[in-house]
């Protein structure tokens, strides 16, 4: 059973990463295919993410998941708040019975530089210049900011977010034990909301999550 990583954030909130190595029938035992996903590998990612929900909380009603107009999956009764992400051979999910959540998973690749102007403000670009003398770390930090903003976007869940204007780095990144980074952001769509994203690297794979 390839649970790649598992983290109990608190008594009501859990997170996990699943390394996808099983065929569809394995996941279908606990994660029925409720949407039309035609591409075989995307279908496998879809199933693995939903399987992980029930792995983290065995009573999670996977069959009751609905998709909002903004494409955010949700439970009508909000028994659990949850977020799912897929990347390559990995799926991640965060589940909470008390807090809104968002999660994202990204591979570190040079391609992120080509789109960085779409999500980094000038202030954020200047802040990241401190890592320019270490190209590999600089690339990882750009990916971490992108991953963090994707997690915040999922936390919000209503779409129409400008990643440069509405999601802004709000202070210094703090380094925590175990490889975790605490990244302060200000979500500024309507009333300004300060939020901390937690992120870490798994050898070229970046995980970021937020709960509030």
Return d(Cα 168, Cα 161) in angstroms, integer: 12
Return d(Cα 33, Cα 38) in angstroms, integer: 11
Q: CB-based contacts of 171: which residues, under 8 Å, 6+ apart?
A: 184
Residue 2: closest CA among 59, 43, 52, 54: 52
**Tokens encoding 95:** 């589940």
* pLDDT recorded at residue 1: 61
Confidence class for position 80, pLDDT limits 50, 70, 90:
very high
Residue 99: closest CA among 15, 183, 13: 13
Count of all residues that appear for the chain in the document:
212
Question: By CB neighbour count within 10 A (0-12 exposed, 13-18 middle, 19+ buried), where does 153 fall?
Answer: buried
Whether residue 100 has pLDDT greater than 80: yes
What mean pLDDT is predicted for residues 100-112?
Answer: 97
Confidence class for position 205, pLDDT limits 50, 70, 90:
very high
Whether residue 182 has pLDDT greater than 80: yes
Tokens 């295919």 label which residue? 33
Where exactly does CATH 3.90.470.20 map onto the chain?
3-99
Count of alpha carbons within 13 angstroms of residue 198, beta-carbon side: 14
pLDDT, tens only, 123-177:
999 999 988 899 999 999 999 999 999 999 999 999 999 999 999 999 999 999 8
What is the β-pairing status of strands 3-10 and 73-75? unpaired
Whether residue 105 has pLDDT greater than 90: yes
What mean pLDDT is predicted for residues 115-121?
Answer: 96
CA dihedral 188, 189, 190, 194 (to 10 degrees): -30
Question: By CB neighbour count within 10 A (0-12 exposed, 13-18 middle, 19+ buried), where does 161 fall?
Answer: middle
Stronger pLDDT, 35 or 96, i.e. the higher one: 96
Return d(Cα 212, Cα 198) in angstroms, integer: 12
pLDDT, tens only, 4-63:
999 999 999 999 999 999 999 999 888 877 677 778 888 999 999 999 999 999 999 999
What is the value of pTM for the model shown?
A: 0.95
What is the β-pairing status of strands 192-201 and 205-211? antiparallel
pLDDT, tens only, 83-94:
999 999 999 999
Q: How many CB atoms lie within 10 A of CB 49?
A: 24
What mean pLDDT is predicted for residues 55-83?
Answer: 93
Return d(Cα 117, Cα 138) in angstroms, integer: 15
Q: How many CB atoms lie within 10 A of CB 212?
A: 14
CATH no. of 3-99 = 3.90.470.20
């Amino acid at each position: 059973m390839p649970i790649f990583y598992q983290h109990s954030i608190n008594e009501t909130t859990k997170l996990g990463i699943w390394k996808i190595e099983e065929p569809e029938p394995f996941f279908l035992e606990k994660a029925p295919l409720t949407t039309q996903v035609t591409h075989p590998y995307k279908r496998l990612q879809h199933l693995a993410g939903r399987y992980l929900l029930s792995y983290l909380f065995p009573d999670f009603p996977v069959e009751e998941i609905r998709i909002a107009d903004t494409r955010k999956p949700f439970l009508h009764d909000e028994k659990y708040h949850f977020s799912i992400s897929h990347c390559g051979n990995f799926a991640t999910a965060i589940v909470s019975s008390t807090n809104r959540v968002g999660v994202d998973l990204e591979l570190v690749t040079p391609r992120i530089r080509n789109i960085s102007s779409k999500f980094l403000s000038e202030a954020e670009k200047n802040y990241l210049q401190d890592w320019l003398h270490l190209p590999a770390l600089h690339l990882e930090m750009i990916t971490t900011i992108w991953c963090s903003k994707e997690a915040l976007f999922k936390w919000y869940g209503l779409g129409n977010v400008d990643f440069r204007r509405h999601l802004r780095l709000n202070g210094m990144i703090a380094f925590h034990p175990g490889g975790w980074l605490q990244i302060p952001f200000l979500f500024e769509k309507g009333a300004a909301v300060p939020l901390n994203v937690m992120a870490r690297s798994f050898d070229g794979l970046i995980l970021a999550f937020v709960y509030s």
